[in-house]
Amino acid sequence: MKKAGYVPLFLGGQRYNFWPYPTDTPPTFDGEQWQGDNMGRICLNRHNGFVNTLFLDFSARKIGLKELWVLKWHRSYNTSGPWTRAGGVRPEDWPEWMRSFKEY
């Protein structure tokens, strides 16, 4: 598969299952229990703004929490959604707890 190094296979989260959408909003505070947006299940500050991830090509690396929105979660996932620079997100749009985290 092309670009398998950008397709997440396993990563830490609140649950074992999630299906992120590009329109999912980040949690309003660190550790917020997810109520509907699936990205909240994995956007947790466990490793200083990063999450450890295993990719489809079996490479592993830490990725920034803001980078979650640009990964290729499935074939039709829009990696230029509203929570990406390409989609128009600005630094001040992120919840306060995430603003100091690394940009992707």
All structural domains of the chain with their residue ranges: 4-98
Q: What are phi and psi of 62, to 5 degrees?
A: -85, 140
Secondary structure of residue 39 in the 3-state scheme: helix
Q: Enter the pTM of the model.
A: 0.90
Predicted pLDDT of residue 65: 96
Q: What is the pLDDT of residues 39-82, one digit of tens each?
A: 888 899 989 999 999 999 999 999 999 999 999 999 999 999 99
pLDDT surpasses 70 at 36: no
Distance CA 38, CA 27 (A): 10
Which residues face 53 on adjacent strands?
Answer: 11, 61
- Name 54's Cβ contacts closer than 8 Å, sequence gap at least 6: 8, 9, 10, 11, 60
